[in-house]
Amino acid sequence: MTVTSTRDGDVATVTIDRPERRNAVDGPTATALAQALARFSADEEARVLVLTGEGEEAFCAGADLKALETLDVDAPGGPLGITRATSPKPTVAAVSGWCLAGGLELALWCDLRIAAETATFGCAERRWGVPLIDGGTQRLPRVVGLGRALDLILSGRPVAAEEALAIGLVTEIVAPGGHLTRALELAERLAAFPQAAMLADRRAAIEGSGLPLAEGLALEHRLGRETLAEAMRGAARFAAGEGRHGAGA
């Protein structure tokens, strides 16, 4: 098995399991990632997905350069299996060690990124003349801004965890070995929220990021209206005393 999938309550965990190759992705691994996403998407009891790599040495070192012929550049989900898809539900990357090239693109595919202090990010494929074709040229500017994204894309330089946090590439840094535990804690918190409004807000943010403001606002309005029943129930709970003074935040 090059990819393992488990679910504990509302949270699914997908692990790239090729530590001997620094969790680099070959064709069978890409297929397994696509299958794991399909199962998560179809599982109504799974609310959040955590993506990680086996061990602490690497989240993912990108495409397996010794097995490039096994990867399908034209695959609907992208060469790495999932990067041309958008998960219908929140995703969190738990990153330790190397997160390079296609591995960085997989981390960027996730909504949030929890990184161990040992994590190193970068577009290392620059050195080998390999293009970013798993979403990196599109998602990295959306996360860190165009200027910083071009710095990383053009230079291919390594970025340590502290800089990654400073530029907004990662959400939070934790002690070595704590990345998966913290990612699961965060995922469980997201899974505990009322889902309709959170999913609507997430969709509006993702789909609206490339739209003119007026169109983005119209999308937000349409999706928000669809959740008004849940909003009314939440407002009633607050009016009855639940959550006062920050309780449960």
The DSSP result for 227-246, as a single string, is: THHHHHHHHHHHHTTTTGGG
Average pLDDT of 104-123?
98
Catalytic pick among 20, 57, 105, 226 = 105
Is the pTM here over 0.85, yes or no?
Answer: yes
pLDDT value at 187 more than 60: yes
Rounded-to-10 torsion of CA 7, 86, 15, 160: -130
Number of Cβ within a 10 Å radius of residue 154: 10
Q: What pLDDT was estimated at residue 231? A: 67
Q: Is 242 a catalytic residue?
A: no
45, 138: one domain: yes
58, 115: one domain: yes
* Mean pLDDT value across the chain: 94
Is the residue at 182 inside a domain? yes
Encode pLDDT of 217-240 as tens digits: 999 999 999 988 776 776 677 667
Lowest average pLDDT, out of 59-68, 148-157, 159-168, goes to 59-68
pLDDT value at 13 more than 80: yes
Interior angle at CA 209, CA 14 and CA 34, nearest 5: 25
Q: What pLDDT was estimated at residue 229? A: 78
88, 200: one domain: no
Q: What pLDDT was estimated at residue 58? A: 98
124, 200: one domain: no
3-state secondary structure of 187: helix
Q: Over the Cα atoms of the chain, what is R_g?
A: 19
Encode pLDDT of 162-178 as tens digits: 999 999 999 999 999 99
CATH for 143: 3.90.226.10
Q: What pLDDT was estimated at residue 248? A: 58
Domain range enclosing 220: 195-240
200, 228: one domain: yes
Is the residue at 247 inside a domain? no
Q: Is 185 a catalytic residue?
A: no
- Share of residues in the chain with pLDDT > 70 (%): 95
119, 199: one domain: no
pLDDT value at 67 more than 70: yes
Average pLDDT of 155-168?
98
User: How many domains are there within the chain?
Assistant: 2
Catalytic pick among 20, 54, 69, 125 = 125
100, 215: one domain: no
